[in-house]
């Protein structure tokens, strides 16, 4: 009887977990990637440098990555419901208090403490939880979950831009922060760490005949995993990948505005990146289930280099920015969707949350360096081109690292 429930999607609670995870990703990352929309209003009101303003985002990224290691461990032990409830509280309070910012240290305090505490509390727990619910279709279900980031990026930044044009940036922060906080807290109450809490088994566990052997590698300790060369390759790939993503997400809108693109049209660049990432997460998640996670990861990394090469050629044509955004988003979405399945395949599930948290910390180091370096380069040279060339080099490096990834067993 239990096996029938596991195989019948109408009765399998894992699909509810995926749906809720999708929605939380939409809310949490959608507002996070709206930083670039609030960037210009902050510069205009306070006259801060781009490097200094970008530093708040970078501080949030590094603290988020550091906290994610502990959050991953907590999720391995206690599950996502309590963690996600706290996440909603931190995000709501942090973004609402952003409406009261008047000095640079207040910006750093809110992004570096409250908002980072919220941002660290949903990405790793949700990915790790979905991985525990599915053996078969893990790539697809992770892709659907992470597609929430794409939908959030496609919808919330344009919405924030519209709110800013009507109410100003301060009231807009209160509106989006309050709504997202309430939504995440309610959704969190229905999450469960793994199928055992519902008297079920992971989807497809009884159907897999040797092609996925999580139980074999699941006994590896964290200490054993961090001594594996594949672990450090995955961390290096994460660094290169997010250096590029964070740099683009913070600076591409204001770069386009500087080339003469209207602010509302420039905001749509982030929306198209989000839309492209939805396609990338779903298509490459399905692809991974059929051709394997490593090959799908390699395929995911290639379009990012192509898009960045394209970006350095753009002058002032908005359609060229939109083309860049679609390709970049597709690649970005695929890489994000595949990180959790790749981690599970390489190292198993017993320490999945904490290992995913460590790789997220590696991402965050790139996320710290990228936006600040790009802002500093612009402040000195008046151009983003050198920063984009650095991104090209790191994106090519990520392809090479993906090629060398293999099972740690």
Rounded to two decimals, the pTM is 0.72
Reading the block at residue 24, the tokens are: 């939380």
C-alpha 145, offset from chain centre: 11
Q: How far apart are CA 107 and CA 286, in angstroms?
A: 40
Q: Is the pLDDT of residue 289 over 70?
A: yes
Please tell me the predicted confidence (pLDDT) of residue 2: 43
What is the tens place of the pLDDT at every residue in 319-342? 999 999 999 999 998 898 888 788
The pLDDT value recorded for residue 11 is: 65
pLDDT at position 3: 44
Please state, rounded to an integer, the average pLDDT across all residues of the chain: 83
In a domain, residue 332? The reply is yes
The total of structural domains in the chain comes to 1
The model's pLDDT over 153-188, given as tens digits with 9 standing for 90+, comes to: 778 888 888 899 899 999 999 998 899 899 999 999
Q: Tens digit of pLDDT for each residue in 342-400?
A: 887 777 766 677 787 888 888 888 888 888 899 889 989 988 999 999 999 999 999 99
> Does the residue 204 lie in any domain?
no
**9 pLDDT higher than 60:** no
Range of the structural domain that residue 74 is part of: 8-194+213-404
The reply to whether 205 falls in a domain is: no
What are the structure tokens assigned to 388, written together? 């984009």
The share of the chain scoring above pLDDT 70, in percent, equals 91
Is it the case that residue 97 has pLDDT exceeding 90?
yes
Burial of residue 384 (number of CB atoms within 10 Å: 0-12, 13-18, 19+)? buried
Write the CATH number for 130: 1.20.1250.20
Contact assessment for residue 189 and residue 80, using Cβ atoms and an 8 Å cutoff: no
More confident residue, 13 or 354: 13
Per-residue model confidence (pLDDT) at position 221: 65
Return the structure tokens found at 252.
Answer: 């591409």
Does residue 2 lie within any of the structural domains? no
Q: Is residue 206 part of a domain?
A: no
The answer to whether residue 201 is domain-embedded is no
CA angle 351, 357, 358 (to 5 degrees): 95
Q: What percent of the chain has pLDDT over 90?
A: 27
3-state secondary structure of 192: coil
Return the structure tokens found at 11: 């009765």
Residue-level pLDDT at 63: 87
| 346, 220 contact by CB (below 8 A) | no
d(CA 372, CA 361): 17
Question: Residue 183 domain-assigned?
Answer: yes
- pLDDT of 216 reads 41
Rounded Cα–Cα distance for residues 195 and 12 (Å):
9
Please report which confidence band the pLDDT of residue 207 belongs to, taking 50, 70 and 90 as the band edges. low
Angle, nearest 10°, between helix axes 229-258 and 263-291? 160
Express each pLDDT in 218-229 by its tens digit. Answer: 456 667 777 788
pLDDT tens for each residue of 209-254: 444 444 444 456 667 777 788 888 989 999 999 999 989 988 898 8
Report the pLDDT value the prediction gives residue 220, as an integer from 0 to 100: 60
Task: Give, as one character, the DSSP assignment of residue 210.
Answer: S
Spatial distance between the Cα atoms of 120 and 146, rounded to a whole number of angstroms: 15
Structure tokens at 166: 């009507």
Determine, yes or no, domain membership for 3: no
Q: Is the pLDDT of residue 190 over 80?
A: yes
| pLDDT of amino acid 172 | 92
Task: Check residue 67 and give its pLDDT.
Answer: 87
255 membership: H or E segment, kind and range: helix 229-258
Digit-coded pLDDT (tens) for 14-58 = 889 999 999 999 988 888 878 878 888 888 888 888 778 888 887
pLDDT band of 111, cuts 50, 70, 90:
confident
Report the distance separating Cα 37 and Cα 336, nearest Å: 22
């Amino acid at each position: 009887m239990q096996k029938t429930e596991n195989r019948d999607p109408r009765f399998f609670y894992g699909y509810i977990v995926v749906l809720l995870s999708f929605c939380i990703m939409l809310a949490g990352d959608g507002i996070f990637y709206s930083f670039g929309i609030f960037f210009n209003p902050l510069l205009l009101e306070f006259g801060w440098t781009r490097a200094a303003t970008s530093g708040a985002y970078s501080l949030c990224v590094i603290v988020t990555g550091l906290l994610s290691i502990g959050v991953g461990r907590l999720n391995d032990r206690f599950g996502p419901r309590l963690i996600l409830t706290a996440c909603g509280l931190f995000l709501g309070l942090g973004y609402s208090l952003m409406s009261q910012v008047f000095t640079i240290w207040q910006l750093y305090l809110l992004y570096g403490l409250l908002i980072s505490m919220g941002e660290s509390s949903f990405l790793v727990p949700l990915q790790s939880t979905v991985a525990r619910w599915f053996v078969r279709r893990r790539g697809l279900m992770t892709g659907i979950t992470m597609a929430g980031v794409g939908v959030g990026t496609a919808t919330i930044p344009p919405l924030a831009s519209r709110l800013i044009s009507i109410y100003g940036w301060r009231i807009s922060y209160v509106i989006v922060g309050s709504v997202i906080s309430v939504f995440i807290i309610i959704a969190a109450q229905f999450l469960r760490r793994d199928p055992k809490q519902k008297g079920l088994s992971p989807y497809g566990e009884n159907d897999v005949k040797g092609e996925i052997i999580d139980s074999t590698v699941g006994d590896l300790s964290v200490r054993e995993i961090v001594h594996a060369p594949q672990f450090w390759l995955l961390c290096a790939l994460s660094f290169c990948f997010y250096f590029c993503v964070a740099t683009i997400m913070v600076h591409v809108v204001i770069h386009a505005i500087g080339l003469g693109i209207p602010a509302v049209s420039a905001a749509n660049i982030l929306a198209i990146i989000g839309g492209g990432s939805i396609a990338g997460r779903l298509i490459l998640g399905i692809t991974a289930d059929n051709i394997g996670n490593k090959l799908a990861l390699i395929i995911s990394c290639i379009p990012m280099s192509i898009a960045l090469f394209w970006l350095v050629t753009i002058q002032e044509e908005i359609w060229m920015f939109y083309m860049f955004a679609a390709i970049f988003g597709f690649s970005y979405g695929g890489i994000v969707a595949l990180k959790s399945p790749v981690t599970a395949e390489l190292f198993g599930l017993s320490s999945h949350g904490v290992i995913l948290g460590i790789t997220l910390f590696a991402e965050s180091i790139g996320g710290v360096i990228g936006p600040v370096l790009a802002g500093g380069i612009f402040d000195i040279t008046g151009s983003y081109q050198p920063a984009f060339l650095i991104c090209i080099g790191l994106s090519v490096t990520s392809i090479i690292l993906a090629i060398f990834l293999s099972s740690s067993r």
